[in-house]
């Protein structure tokens, strides 16, 4: 089983890393790819750090995680980073292996705004990491509203045991909402703290913190 965890990672933080650890404990993934985005369609209005810095921070985080592989697929492709392209790319690369997309619950609630999101949902299982304020009470009601007429019959309302059983190559994919501690950590908050000279200790790993300081990322020019 192959998992993809995409993001802007500006910067990668402890919320991402704990999410990956929890997802890996819940599902026996053989390979997990972290895919920093190129030009994210939803974030073009925000100033982003250069891809090389975001990539380097992801590499530093993966060293500390002790698992995971970094994919430059989205950074390398000149095209906009549509998730559907990335999922298709990994699907073609790992034929017959179920592909799973790991996403935060905030992303799940806006999935209907993604380019060809129905195709994404037919190509990949979803493992969803709950974030504070998004999909509360471990309920899928909000998600069902978001998905609207899209029927994913394999949606699991509760944490399945073992979660791996619900990862499938079938046409109907599984959506698994993990029951994990929600960490109120976001890249936006970290950038804001740096900008205002506040500490980001324990919100990112030490090497990532050092990198941010050395490269003077997120400071106002
Ligand atoms: P920003 O604040 O810039 O929007 P972010 O903190 O949401 O950034 P991204 O790089 O956009 O980070 O997130 C990549 C993926 O990780 C998304 O699917 C997002 O929902 C998920 N994610 C981010 N932070 C957390 C967290 N604290 N807990 C669980 N999932 C998270």
Q: Establish whether residue 111 lines the binding site of ligand 1, counting it when its CB lies within 6 angstroms of any ligand atom.
A: no
Q: Establish whether residue 104 lines the binding site of ligand 1, counting it when its CB lies within 6 angstroms of any ligand atom.
A: yes
Give residue 195's pLDDT: 95
Q: Establish whether residue 54 lines the binding site of ligand 1, counting it when its CB lies within 6 angstroms of any ligand atom.
A: no
Domain 2-183: CATH superfamily, name plus number: HUPs (3.40.50.620)
Q: Establish whether residue 22 lines the binding site of ligand 1, counting it when its CB lies within 6 angstroms of any ligand atom.
A: no
Give residue 16's pLDDT: 98
Name the residue ranges covered by the structural domains of the chain.
Answer: 2-183
Q: Establish whether residue 55 lines the binding site of ligand 1, counting it when its CB lies within 6 angstroms of any ligand atom.
A: no
Per-residue model confidence as pLDDT tens digits over 165-204: 555 555 556 778 888 889 999 999 999 999 999 999 999 9
CA of 18 to the centre of ligand 1 (A): 11
Sites in the chain below the pLDDT cut of 50:
153-160
CA of 113 to the centre of ligand 1 (A): 17
Q: Apex CA 89: angle with CA 85 and CA 91, to 5°?
A: 115
Give residue 134's pLDDT: 73
Give residue 42's pLDDT: 60
Give residue 156's pLDDT: 47
Q: Establish whether residue 218 lines the binding site of ligand 1, counting it when its CB lies within 6 angstroms of any ligand atom.
A: no
Per-residue model confidence as pLDDT tens digits over 71-81: 999 999 866 77
Task: Please state the atom number of ligand 1 nearest to the C-alpha of residue 184.
Answer: 27
Q: Classify the C-alpha dihedral 67-89-164-125 as positive or negative.
A: positive
Give residue 108's pLDDT: 87
């Amino acid at each position: 089983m192959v998992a993809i965890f995409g993001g802007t990672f500006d910067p990668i933080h402890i919320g991402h890393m704990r999410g990956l650890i929890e997802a890996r404990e819940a599902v026996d993934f053989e390979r997990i790819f972290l895919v920093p985005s190129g030009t994210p369609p939803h974030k073009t209005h925000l100033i982003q750090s250069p891809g090389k810095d975001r990539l380097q921070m992801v590499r530093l985080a993966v060293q500390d995680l002790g698992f995971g592989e970094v994919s430059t697929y989205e950074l390398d492709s000149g095209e906009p980073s549509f998730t559907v392209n990335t999922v298709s790319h990994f699907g073609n690369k790992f034929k017959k292996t179920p592909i799973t997309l790991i996403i935060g619950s905030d992303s799940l609630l806006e999935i209907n705004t993604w380019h060809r999101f129905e195709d994404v949902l037919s190509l990949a299982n979803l493992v969803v990491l709950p974030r504070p304020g998004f999909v509360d009470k471990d309920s899928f009601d909000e998600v069902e509203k978001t998905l609207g007429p899209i029927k994913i019959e394999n949606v699991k309302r509760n944490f399945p045991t073992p979660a791996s059983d619900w990862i499938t190559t079938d046409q109907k994919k599984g959506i698994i909402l993990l029951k994990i501690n929600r960490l109120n950590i976001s890249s936006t908050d970290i950038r804001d703290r740096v900008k205002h000279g506040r500490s980001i200790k324990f919100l990112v790993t030490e090497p990532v913190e050092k990198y941010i300081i050395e490269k003077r990322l997120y400071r106002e020019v």
